[in-house]
Amino acid sequence: MMGMSPWLGRLLQLLALITIDHASPALAITLVIGAAGAAIAIFLYRGSYLPRFVMDILDRLSNKTSLQEGYEKRNQSLITIDAADLADRISSRVVGQDEAIRAIAQQLRRRIAARRLDKPVAVFCLAGAPGVGKTHFAKILAEELYGGRSHLHFFDMSQFGQPHAAASLFGQARGYVGSNSYGSLTAALRDVPNAIVLLDEFEKAHSEVHKRFLTAWNDGFITEVSDGARVATNEAIFILTTNAASRRIGEIAEQSNETAEELGRLAKAALADAQFSPEVLSRIDDVFAFRPLKGLDIARVVALEIEAIALQFNLKIAGGGIDPQILMRAINALSGRMQGGVRDMTRAIERQITDGLIDARAAGAVEIRLMQDDECVRVEAADGHRDQFATRLQRATAG
């Protein structure tokens, strides 16, 4: 390239480094457009050389060592994980899914280590029946990875069942109401790009909404419709949850001793048979099957939910928590009368104890305990307000 201006040589060197070292065609094209604009600017500047400070910037950018240092500094902000430790911490808070949790933690470790700049960190699908811990797992994962839920972007995909609903996620075209603000997804990733994007009950969204995610997973960015800006998705972990084919997946999990990886493969096939979009499935890195909960595991989940409900009444559980065994008789009785899962059982037991929680709070109790009462569960004060609470309960029963 005889007679090439020094600034253009630096820019082309930078272009080659980014294209070869970092496999980013989109950025390369952007630089070509920028170079063309710069050429026009130079022509108007009536000279073949840029000001010294601009040349200094290009020198630094086109220096491979400087580029590498920049990428290393950026990568210092990326999380690193101990898969076994992460799995142990999550398993202590998510009931009955130890095998799936270990597999997810290990695969997440691999995805982070082999992270690409043109793809999200990972796109995972958690498949299984309602109430087995899929959504809860994703929320706990955000807390364990990032220290809180400020790095969790939660979307209830059942709210996007119409094709026009995509606008609320990805922005509204100019000229339409709402085009002066970003979509909820693009705004969330613009503000907090290193996050878990939880797409809950993904199968309930419209197929047109599904298609809008393909670019996010395939190219490492999404386009905000209102202004055409590209919002990076390459620091995000996308987690889809689905109840599709849950009966079939539950049967496979119960009847099989396969590894989590093999169960995931079988679950993916079941999702395909359930008319899950092939385009979506092909862009999901891994599917993880969550097993149906049974027996004491159901009681443990219900116990955790009831403890959270008690806290809403400013009441603590004596002894540090509910003994799941106390709930087993009630759960077994409920199992014979209802077809629902853990959530339905939790609601049924909540109805049994709500009046007791109200009376305990009104009596000034601070701590309570749950007691088995035939096939039901009742609340009993665990501190000095026991007599007062019993009196209020007798009056409420008499009334």
Q: DSSP letters along 67-125, please?
A: HHHHHHHHHTTS----HHHHHHHHHTTS-S-HHHHHHHHHHHHHHHHT--TTS-SEEEE
Q: Which fold has domain 81-289?
A: Rossmann fold (3.40.50)
pTM over 0.85, yes/no: no
Q: What is the CATH number of domain 295-397?
A: 1.10.8
CA 234, CA 114: separation in Å to the nearest integer?
Answer: 12
C-alpha of 279 from chain center: 20
What radius of gyration, in Å, describes the C-alpha atoms of the chain?
A: 28
Sign, CA torsion 218/219/221/226: negative
CA distances from 13 to 51, 367, 398 (A): 19, 69, 87
Do 270 and 248 touch, CB atoms closer than 8 A?
yes
CA 204, CA 198: separation in Å to the nearest integer?
Answer: 14
Q: Which two tokens stand for residue 225?
A: 């419709």
The Cβ of residue 139 has, within 10 Å, a number of other Cβ atoms equal to 17
Do 375 and 163 touch, CB atoms closer than 8 A?
no
CA 196, CA 239: separation in Å to the nearest integer?
Answer: 7
SS3 of residue 394 by DSSP: helix
pLDDT value, residue 43: 53
pLDDT value, residue 129: 92
CA 297, CA 7: separation in Å to the nearest integer?
Answer: 66
pLDDT value, residue 117: 85
Residue 290 dihedral angles phi and psi, to the nearest 5° = -95, 125
CA 307, CA 380: separation in Å to the nearest integer?
Answer: 14
Domain with CATH 3.40.50.300 in the chain: 81-289
CA 143, CA 210: separation in Å to the nearest integer?
Answer: 27
pLDDT value, residue 9: 59
Q: Tens-of-pLDDT digits for all 399 residues of the chain?
A: 444 555 555 556 665 555 544 444 555 555 556 666 665 555 555 444 555 555 555 555 555 554 455 445 445 445 678 999 999 999 999 999 999 999 999 999 999 998 888 899 999 999 999 989 999 999 999 999 999 999 999 999 999 999 999 999 999 988 787 788 899 999 999 999 999 999 999 999 999 999 999 999 999 999 999 999 999 999 999 999 999 999 999 998 888 788 888 999 999 999 999 989 999 999 999 999 999 998 899 999 999 999 999 999 999 999 888 999 989 988 888 876 766 678 888 899 999 999 999 999 999 999 999 998 888 899 988 865 555 555 555 554 445
CA 387, CA 160: separation in Å to the nearest integer?
Answer: 52
Beta pairing class for 196-200 and 237-242: parallel
List beta partners, residue 154. Answer: 198
Domain with CATH 1.10.8 in the chain: 295-397
| Residue spans of alpha helices (H) in the chain | 6-22, 25-45, 52-62, 64-75, 83-91, 98-113, 134-146, 166-170, 184-191, 207-218, 246-255, 260-273, 278-283, 295-312, 324-335, 342-362, 386-398
Given the structure tokens 């419209």, which residue do they identify? 206
CA 287, CA 100: separation in Å to the nearest integer?
Answer: 10
| Single-letter residue type at 107 | Q
pLDDT value, residue 232: 96
SS3 of residue 289 by DSSP: strand
| Single-letter residue type at 174 | R
The Cβ of residue 89 has, within 10 Å, a number of other Cβ atoms equal to 17
